[in-house]
Structure 1
Amino acid sequence: MANVLVIGQGGREHVIAWKLKQSPHVDKVFCAPGNAGTAEDAINVDISATDSERLAAFAEENDVTLTVVGPEAPLVAGIVDTFQSRGLTVFGPSKAAAALEGSKSFCKEIMRRANVPTADHWVFTDPTDAVQFVQEREETPLVVKADGLAAGKGVSVCSTKAEAIEAIHHIMTQKAYGDAGRKIVIEERLVGQEVSILALVDGKTIVTLEPAQDHKAAHDGDTGPNTGGMGAYTPAPFATPELIDEVIERILIPTVHAMRKNGTEFQGVLYAGLMLTAQGPKVLEYNVRLGDPEAQPVLMRLKSDLYEILLAASQGKLRDLPELEWDPRSAVCVVMASEGYPESYESGHPIRGLGEAAELPDTKVFHAGTTLTDGKVVNSGGRVLGITSLGESLSEAKRKAYEAVKCIRWQGAWCRKDISDKARD
């Protein structure tokens, strides 16, 4: 029986730990540092997700067979390299390969070499040059992005020149995201439906997961500021088998080849955020880990053994696996957030009704920003819970998820009310 270590403390890590625990091959699942939810479904370990040396030592001391790295920050910092240098099996890309998410300009360069369809873009290291560029252009919608990691918040979708210039100053002059904004990428704004295609890659073989759609904007109708994601659902009906085939052929395979030719072979999750434009699918960005909250509904539907899958991927043996099995039902995840998110918010409020929600059929409450204080579950982050339900249709899964949402209360709790409505089930 295997011991597994999951690194991270969000909703994505909770669903990974929960799913790994279901494997008949797995004995113990450790989660570092985890949250109040992983404390129920796994064994929390009080080590920061970015303390790679201590985490590797823990894996050695506890006979960990497989380590799964959830969030992007430790991946970009090189945690996989640390584990591999000690001969430990770890699922996730190397530091050099994780630059696909860690640097938007590097990502664009790889896409250019791979001839992958994406938005036209321009890179700047000087705010004066960036502002001049915007001023001299025609009035067209633009997207301004911090080059480095900004927890999903370093992207401004701008309708006017004035908004774009304000975004440049916010990122580069006011240093809203610190060093992540020393370089920026300005892109043309793409129009269409957004969809997330997540694939497991072992360097050579690519296995796609069921497509999902995230909801980035804070409020109903896709209004308000960008967040890390306010909910997700799967399947996404417009992500047809034909579209998936096109994405694999035109986007994923060329990217994996380009990464190998670049000397940065990719192993881990390759997450393509796509815009389905009138000219076909175009890549908005790549992430190098499972999406959060997309991981919750996607893994809720996965019937195959996640431990076997991730172990095979980390050993370069994905081609030996049988085809993945999926629950044919739909899944909807609704994120409950703290008042004030994505800006500043108060934490430490006790959360009520978790037991009541847990008793509802086909529903699981995944914890993200929670912790235990004096034996009580309290909110400790901006995105607090991901209430995820299965249903025979998307509308039924949505109804069940919001039924569970109604059970749960804490001071300032809120959520979007329209998760999955884009699918018009």
Structure 2
Amino acid sequence: MRRETSPPRPDWKQRITEQGMVFDTPGRGQGGAARPYWDESVHYVFEMNEVLALEADVELLHSMCLEAVDHVVTTERFRDFALPEWSWEGVAASWKRSDPHLYGRFDLRYDGSSPAKLLEYNADTPTTLLEASILQWHWLKDTHDSDDQWNSLHEKLVARWAEIGESLPGSELHFTWSSADSTGEDHITTAYLQETAAEAGLDTVGLAIEDLGWDAALDRFVDLAEAPIAALMKLYPWEWVLTDEFGKHAVRSLPETLWIEPLWKSVLSNKALLAVLWEMYPGHPNLLPAYLDQPGILTEYVRKPRLGREGANISIVSPGSEVQTGGVYDEDGMGGGWVYQLFDPLPEFDGFRPALGAWIVGDESAGLGIRETAGLVTDDGAAFVPHRIPEA
């Protein structure tokens, strides 16, 4: 694994816009200087044996996470995940029905020599999908055509939708995002997922989640045409859905309205998962020690809100130093509490730190996206950079 620099394509801005990249909030470089969010002036190079090892690690972590969900459901540990009590039965039923799941992104620490370490699992609403699937593939073909890339995302998404389509309760699949997202990233990610589902032969309809209606007479969700919604792919976190009456409708409508990602993923998208995994697999080479609500034996640790997002309200405690990020989570982590994980800083390459986003589609590893930051926390100022695998 190494970091290399190369001249950007002369028309790179036009190219990525044509490929759907219409959000471009600048990243932050050294000293806070503005940096393109999509930065192809640098990239990472991996040897094939490294990628094969990472693929195996990702599929192993995924299977461990599924075991963790089964453990949480079986032992009814929902309180550790700050899930409202009224949702517990629904979460358990969703898992026992094997409600179908689509995809997820593992955020990993990897330095090319020691085993990859799980930092967290974005299992419910992962983004950076268009960048990982489409943008960096076109970059590779334009700049290193004979090289390879860890990237079968598009093909595997289409194949997975075909599998899911066989179990849908109706002929249409609705795709929703929140119109409150001012960046446009959620809308673009949802539109790309909708495109892959259509390629798989599914009938798709897109609408903002704010436009979902509830028909009290039918006791069903309906779309703008007041047609009942049989299946719904949402890019909206379950922890937000479960905060109000809308969430009670969502849980009660299962399985007549099938939600993707499924309700059981509210366990996997919660950082309490990190502590449960460490309890179940202590000392595992792909895990970092993690504990609920207190640091345990850790003297160097990262404190994360259970329900935190985008690197918000992170505290890093190490000898003689404490680093904190801002955010909206209050003193009890916005009601969810905290998870403490061993501080194992991301490796440094030329003054920057890459976090590997390793994708899973269905139950198979599917690709890699890299976000790079000048600081210790991979937050909303991180830049996305491509990667390649040299021709053997």
TM-score by length of 2: 0.40
The two structures have a TM-score, normalised by structure 1, of 0.37
Which of structures 1 and 2 has the larger relative contact order (alpha carbons within 8 angstroms, sep 6+)? 2
